[in-house]
Amino acid sequence: MPEIYCEWGEHGVRQLAELCEVIVIVDVLSFTTAVEVAASNGSTVFPYRFRDETAAQFAGEVNAELARGRGMGGYSLSPASLMKIEEPLRLVLPSPNGSTLSLATGDVLTVAGCLRNASAVADYAQRQGRKIGVVPAGERWPDYSLRPALEDILGAGAILSCLGGIKTAEAQTAVEMFEAARPCLQNRIMSCVSGIELVECGYERDVQISSELNASACVPVLLRDKTDPSTPGAYVDAETSG
Distance CA 78, CA 209 (A): 10
Average pLDDT of 130-136?
A: 98
Distance CA 157, CA 162 (A): 9
pLDDT tens for each residue of 154-174 = 999 999 999 999 999 999 999
Amino acid at 82: L
Element (H, E) at 51: none
pLDDT tens for each residue of 172-222 = 999 999 999 999 999 999 999 999 999 999 999 999 999 999 999 999 999
Distance CA 145, CA 151 (A): 18
pTM metric for this prediction: 0.96
Distance CA 116, CA 210 (A): 7
| Total domains in the fold of the chain | 1
- Residue 7's φ and ψ, nearest 5 degrees, are -140, 155
Distance CA 218, CA 232 (A): 21
Position 232 confidence tier, pLDDT thresholds 50, 70, 90: confident
CATH code at 7? 3.90.1560.10
Q: What is the number of helices (H) and of strands (E) in the chain?
A: 11, 12
- Which residue range is the domain that position 145 belongs to? 3-240
Angle at 146 between CA 178 and CA 133, to 5 degrees: 50
- Is there a contact between 137 and 97 (Cβ–Cβ < 8 Å)? yes
